[in-house]
Amino acid sequence: MGDPGGIGPEVIVKALDPRRRRACPGVRFVILAAESAMNAAAGRARVPRFWSLCPPGVPWPKGDVLMDYEERPPRSGYAAKPTALGGDMSFRCFSDAVMLALHGSHTGVSAVVTGPISKKAWELAGHGEFPGHTEALARLCAVKQCAMFFHAPPSANGPGLNVILATVHVPLARVPGFLTSDRIENVISLGHQTMRQLGTPRPRIAVCGLNPHAGEGGLLGDDEARVIEPALRASRRRGIRCAGPFPADTIFQRALSTRTKPAEFDLVVAMYHDQGLIPLKTLAWDRAVNLTAGLPIIRTSPDHGTAFDIAGTNRADAGSMRAAVQTAVRLAASMGGRQR
């Protein structure tokens, strides 16, 4: 569900509306959420409740299921702001969903789609050690490194673009200290693997520089020569097709694809959060999907946040959540998962 006070419940009911669920035939959904938040969102969106209610820890009935994490509904609903209550509930729903997927051979869960959370709410609830989903997923799944990967296929509304981040929720001033050749090489490898899972057998990868003009031959910084280029050479020795480092202000244009014209590059490796997400969200904010690369489970999410400013108004666009669900289903099917 994500944060119960955000737009997560609304985009879930809109994305899973059985009357419009054409891309997911035969797939069963288990929603971990607060019943009152889901009922309110369904009522505002005029989506008939399509789930059976079930408390956590109880065997699921047939069909779609809502596992209710709500002990007592707040009298005036969930506040559209970061709260300890919202942070605690969203963290419990999230961590339980991950556990269900990790034990998928017993539970039948093939993938997880996470709703938007409030990082401040997690902090208020005592989970401030996690700056976001990605870091918590790494801890729960016991992996040393994973990466945020964003996938936006081309559509009639705009071009396609794929981006993976070398660093995630790191203050900009600290990014250079986080970047090492090993980290960048690992992210290139994770991006290569994820593109193959998405159906590109030999992906072509462009790697951004960190500094303006990719350092301008050392005049604007030496991170490119000192850190990024060794990672590129190591990746090429492993048979990965990658090039760079390129100036970030021009390389994304060469990675845009349309339905009739393939891109010059299939994936861009960005050095920090906003370097990669500004172009992606400008071009595909309603279509992009966040995948976590490097996990033993499939996890996707919409590329937007809680949008507290419009929560409860029925104005949220469910396009990104719908794309996240469809991508999770497609990956589960391609990797042999049981679509339940």
| DSSP secondary structure string for all residues of 281-294 | HHHHTTT-EEEEET
At 246 the pLDDT is 98
For the chain, the first-to-last Cα distance in angstroms comes to 18
DSSP 122-148: HHHTT-TT-SSHHHHHHHHHT-S--EE
Backbone angles phi, psi at 32, to 5 degrees: -100, 115
> What is the C-alpha separation between 314 and 41, in angstroms, rounded?
8
Report pLDDT digits (tens) over 111-127.
999 999 999 999 999 99
Please state the φ and ψ torsions of residue 208, each to the nearest 5 degrees: -75, 155
pLDDT of 20 reads 84
Q: Is the pTM of this model over 0.85?
A: yes
Q: Which pLDDT tens digit goes with each residue over 188-202?
A: 999 999 999 999 999
Residue 338 has pLDDT above 70, yes or no: no
Q: Please tell me the predicted confidence (pLDDT) of residue 337.
A: 46
> In 3-state terms, what secondary structure has residue 213?
helix
Extract the tokens encoding 327: 């991508």
Runs of H (alpha helix) within the chain = 8-15, 35-45, 84-102, 104-107, 119-124, 133-141, 175-178, 181-197, 223, 229-237, 248-251, 273-284, 319-334
CA atoms within 13 A on the CB side of 52: 10
Amino acid 58: pLDDT:
86
What's the rounded Cα separation, in Å, for the pair 11 and 96? 20
pLDDT band at 131 (very low <50, low <70, confident <90, very high): confident
Predicted local distance difference test score (pLDDT) of residue 313: 97
**CB contact burial 198-217 (16+ within 10 A = b; e otherwise):** beeeebbbbbbbbbebbbee
Greatest pairwise CA separation for the chain in angstroms: 64
Tokens 């020795």 -> residue: 237
d(CA 182, CA 228) in angstroms, rounded, equals: 9
Instruction: Compute the mean pLDDT over every residue in the chain, rounded to the nearest whole number.
Output: 94
Which pLDDT score is estimated for 83? 97
Residue written as token pair 């350092």: 215
Give the burial string for 77-99 (b: 16+ CB within 10 Å, else e): ebbbbbbebbbbbbbebbbbbbe
∠ Cα 262 267 270 (to 5°): 140
> What pLDDT score does 162 carry?
98
Q: Which structural domains are found in the chain, ordered by start?
A: 1-142+297-303+318-340 (3.40.718.10), 144-294 (3.40.718.10)
**Residue carrying the six token digits 């891309």:** 23
236-281, pLDDT tens digit by residue? Answer: 999 999 999 999 999 999 999 999 999 999 999 999 999 999 999 9
What would the pLDDT profile of 293-310 be if each residue is shown by its tens digit?
999 999 999 989 999 999
**Rounded CA separation 82/104 (Å):** 32
Residues 18-62: tens digit of each pLDDT: 988 876 778 999 999 999 999 999 999 999 999 999 988 888 999
State the pLDDT at residue 23: 65
Quickly tell me which residue has 């991170």 as its tokens. Answer: 223
Q: Rounded to an integer, what distance in angstroms lies between the CA atom of residue 131 and that of residue 192?
A: 25
Per-residue pLDDT tens over the stretch 165-219? 999 989 999 999 999 999 999 999 999 999 999 999 999 999 999 999 999 999 9
pLDDT exceeds cutoff 50 at 94: yes
pLDDT tens across 306-332, in order?
999 999 999 999 999 999 999 999 999
